[in-house]
Amino acid sequence: MAESKMVHPPLVTYASMLSLLTLCPPFVILLWYTMVHADGSVYQTWEFLKQNGLQGLKEIWPRPTVIAWEIIACFAAFEAALQLWLPGKKVMGPISPTGNQPVYKSNGLAAYAVTLVTYLGLWWFGIFNPVIVYDHLGEIYSALIFGSFIFCIFLYIKGHLAPSSTDSGSSGNAIIDFYWGMELYPRIGKNFDIKVFTNCRFGMMSWAVLAVTYCIKQYEENGHVADSMLVNTILMLVYITKFFLWEAGYWNTMDIAHDRAGFYICWGCLVWVPSIYTSPGMYLVNHPVHLGTQLALSILVAGILCIFINYDCDRQRQEFRRTNGKCIVWGKAPSKIVASYQTSKGETKTSLLLTSGWWGLARHFHYVPEILSAFFWTVPALFNHCLPYFYVVFLTILLMDRAKRDDDRCRSKYGKYWKMYCQKVRYRVIPGIY
C-alpha cells in the first residue's frame, strides 16, 4: 500500500492512533462544555469530573437530537449540491504514484460566497435564526462525532469492496486502514470527490458558518458585537477566504495528494475543524473583551499580514510549478534544484525544488505565518483562560509533525537531491532556529 510507511516507531504510531481514536471524541465534548457551561475554566471542568468520574462525563455529553441531525443534514446536502452543480474551471490534480491524475471542478470560492450570503440572508429575513445552531451546539457535535465514525466505517468498507481508483489498498492492519484510510481519491460516482467535500466543503465551510454564528449569538444576547469578537471573526473569515481563493493549490498538498481518506483526515475535517478550530470564537460569545480601537486594529492588521504572507508563500510555489521555474521570485530568476525520482512503475521523472523567495528561508516556512494567524485571532480573548489557545498549540504540533512527515516522504522520494536541497535550505520551519 503506497504512502503507508510509518514515520514514527511502530509503538509510537499505534499508541498515537489508538489515543486519538479514543480521546478526540470526548475532548470535543469537554471543550464545548468548558467554553459554554464552565466559564472557559479547565479547572472547573476538572473538578466536576474528579467528583463525578465517568458518570460526570455521561452527564456532560449531550445526546444527538432530531434538530441536530436536521441541521447537519441540511448543511451537508446544501454543500454537496453546491460542489456538484455550481460551475467551475476544470483543474488537474497531481499525478499519483500509480499514474492517476484526478480532475476537479474549482468552484469553492463561489460556494463559499453562496453559503455565507444564504446563511446571513436566512437570518436577515427571519427565516432561520443562527442562534438555534449555537443553542444546540453540543448536540450537533455529539451527532457529528457518531455520524462521522459511521462515515469512516463506510470509507473503510468502500476501500475494500469498491475503490474508485488503483490508488488504494490495505496495509494488512485493520486499525491502520481505518485510521489512515484505504483510498487516496475516493469518489461517489464520477464527479463527487469525497475528500474535497469533507476537507473543503463541510470542514472549512462549517468553520466560516460557525464563526458568523458566534457573532450573531453575541449580538442577539448583548445588542452589540464586542471588538474582540469582530477581530476574531474577521481574521477567521479572511483566512477562510484565502483558503478558497487558493483551493486548487490545496489539492496539491499532503492532505489531498498523499494522505488517504480515513479517520485522520475525514473525521478530523467533519468534527475536529468545526469544533476545535472555531473554539476561540466559541469562548468569546460569553466572554466579550473590550480591546479598544488601537489594540483591536493592531491585532487585525498583524493577523491580516500573516494571512497574506501565508497566501504569498503558497502563491509563489504554485507560480513556480505552473511556469516550470520560468518566473520571477522576489525580483529575480528563482534558485532551484532539478530532482529526478522513480515512480512505483519504475519510470524516471523530474521535479523542480524551489530554493529562493519564501522557500529559501525554510523548507516549510509557510507554517510560521499560519501559526501566527491563529494566534492573532485568538489573542482578542486575552489571557484569563488558557483553553482558547488550545487550537494554536494543537496547530503548532500538527504542522511540526506534518513538516517532519513531508521531509521524510521527500527524502525517500528524491534521495540525494533532497540531501542537496536540505544543504541549501537548512531549516525545516523557523529560519535560524528549527
Count structural domains, the chain: 2
**Residue-by-residue DSSP string for 40-103:** T-HHHHHHHHHHHHHHHHHHHSPPP-HHHHHHHHHHHHHHHHHHHHS--EEEE-PPPTTS---E
- 297 and 285 housed in the same domain: no
- 352 and 230 housed in the same domain: no
Q: Where are the beta strands (DSSP E) in 170-296?
A: 187-188, 192-193
- 11 and 136 housed in the same domain: yes
Rg for the chain (alpha carbons), in Å?
A: 22
- 257 and 376 housed in the same domain: no
Question: End-to-end CA distance of the chain, in Å?
Answer: 32
- 255 and 311 housed in the same domain: no
Q: Where is the domain boundary, 290, 321, 337?
A: 290
- 74 and 155 housed in the same domain: yes
Give every residue of the chain whose pLDDT is below 70, as ranges: 1-12, 344
- 158 and 271 housed in the same domain: yes
Instruction: Indicate the pairing of strand 336-342 with strand 348-354.
Output: antiparallel
Per-residue model confidence (pLDDT) at position 281: 97
Per-residue model confidence (pLDDT) at position 96: 85
- 249 and 331 housed in the same domain: no
Per-residue model confidence (pLDDT) at position 2: 38
Cβ(325)–Cβ(336) below 8 Å? yes
Per-residue model confidence (pLDDT) at position 350: 86
- 270 and 343 housed in the same domain: no
Q: Where is the domain boundary, 255, 290, 325?
A: 290
Q: Where is the domain boundary, 238, 259, 290?
A: 290
- 244 and 356 housed in the same domain: no
Cα gap 3→259, rounded to integer Å: 7
Per-residue model confidence (pLDDT) at position 346: 72
CA 147, 73, 163, 249 torsion: positive or negative?
negative
**pTM of the predicted protein model:** 0.91
Cα gap 53→49, rounded to integer Å: 5
| Range(s) of the domain holding residue 312 | 291-434
CA 100 from centroid of its chain's CA atoms: 25
- 56 and 186 housed in the same domain: yes
- 295 and 285 housed in the same domain: no
Cβ(267)–Cβ(152) below 8 Å? yes
Cβ(425)–Cβ(321) below 8 Å? no
Cα gap 215→213, rounded to integer Å: 5
Instruction: Indicate the pairing of strand 89-92 with strand 103-106.
Output: antiparallel
Encoded amino acid at 137, one letter: L
Encoded amino acid at 100, one letter: N
